[in-house]
Amino acid sequence: MPKPFRSGFVALLGRPNVGKSTLMNRIIGHKIAITSRRPQTTRQRVLGIKTGPDSQIVFVDTPGIHRDRRRAINVVMNRTARATVEDVDVIVVMIDVGGWRPEDRLALDAAGSRSIPVILVINKIDQLKSKTQLLPLIEASKGMAHFAEIVPVSAQTGSNIDRLEEVIVGYLPEAPAGFPADQITDRSERFLASEFIREQLFRGLGQELPYVSAVQIEEMARKDGLIRIQATIWVESDGQKAIVIGKGGERLKAIGKQARLAMEKEFASKVFLELWVKVRKGWSDDANLLRSLGYTEDG
Ligand SMILES: Nc1nc2c(ncn2[C@@H]2O[C@H](COP(=O)(O)OP(=O)(O)OP(=O)(O)O)[C@@H](O)[C@H]2O)c(=O)[nH]1
Ligand SMILES: [Mg+2]
């Protein structure tokens, strides 16, 4: 008898910076979610679709669940993550080898509201000096909640990722694929382009600046083997604008170059990218503006 086909939605939940987006990119084999060393990199839900011979896993990468409630965008991000739980078949809660922190409990609480399998992933095992250090953490985790499985991995090196995929598939319902086999995300190239720019803001700017900036694609068109993109980086003050542009425009140039390289790789095309920096005071705390920039609680 052939194996039954299994498919379903899998939420990735966890505190900011634990490695959710890195894990999704690793499994899909493409950069569809941006990552950085800073917390709160992911702001919107992104699907990552992995189709195999007898399965289709649809990952839902979510913003890290956090305590920061200073701005409207923080509240939207937390709600987005929590709402995801309602529509999935399996939940992956991710912690890292550093052990349980208060914000990890928030993610676990969000997962606990439904009776579906919850798999605990312990990420960043590449940071352990010895595997024996894992055992006490696994033991402690068993006392935190009823986990269907506990799987240690390294999203960065790929260690034990095949095993995690097998475990996840085992908990998916028998169902036909919901997406075509060659589709890897629900997001448009336009969205990915704006995210690749935002990723450089998170990687290239210090302090608070990444958190008070947003990116909007004004124009994006494919023509004659080239993708032309015009985008605006929104910040909240003239001082921030000066920092993003940098001395003699150097910083903006570097941001544009790195973002363009990521786009060329992912879109398999030459890209011509033009960036502007504009000031819009209070965008991150303005509910209407957030909507116009695409930040909605169900997206
Ligand atoms: N050493 C190590 N670093 C990792 C691993 N996985 C992710 N990271 C790093 O951890 C940082 C955060 O990764 P992300 O994937 O952006 O984390 P996230 O959980 O999506 O974070 P938010 O979007 O802010 O919620 C990045 O610097 C990654 O390179 C891992 O397995 N080992
Ligand atoms: Mg993320």
pLDDT in tens, 46-85: 999 999 999 999 999 999 999 888 788 888 888 988 888 9
- Give helix then strand counts, H and E, for the chain: 9, 9
Range of the domain at 211: 189-292
Lowest mean pLDDT among 221-230, 235-244, 275-284: 275-284
Q: Which residue has the higher pLDDT, 207 or 59?
A: 59
Pocket test for ligand 1, best of 20, 25, 35, 202 (most atoms within 8 A of CB): 35
The backbone torsions φ and ψ at residue 225, rounded to the nearest 5 degrees and listed phi first, read 70, 20
Q: How confident is the model at residue 238 (pLDDT cuts 50, 70, 90)?
A: very high
| Ligand 1, atom 23: closest residue by C-alpha | 42
Q: Which CATH number fits the domain that encloses residue 31?
A: 3.40.50.300
Residue 299 placed within a domain: no
Taking residues 232-255, what's their average pLDDT?
Answer: 95
Domain count, the chain: 2
Q: Which ligand number lies closest to the CA of residue 39?
A: 1
Ligand 1, atom nearest to 37 Cα: 27
Residue 180 placed within a domain: no
Taking residues 224-239, what's their average pLDDT?
Answer: 94
Same domain assignment for residues 108 and 207: no
**pLDDT reported for residue 295:** 78
Q: Which two tokens stand for residue 40?
A: 């709160």
On the question of pLDDT at 298 being above 60, the answer is no
On the question of pLDDT at 217 being above 80, the answer is yes
φ/ψ region of 167 (left if φ > 0, alpha if ψ in -120 to 50, else beta) reads alpha
Q: What is the mean pLDDT of the chain?
A: 93
Same domain assignment for residues 43 and 144: yes
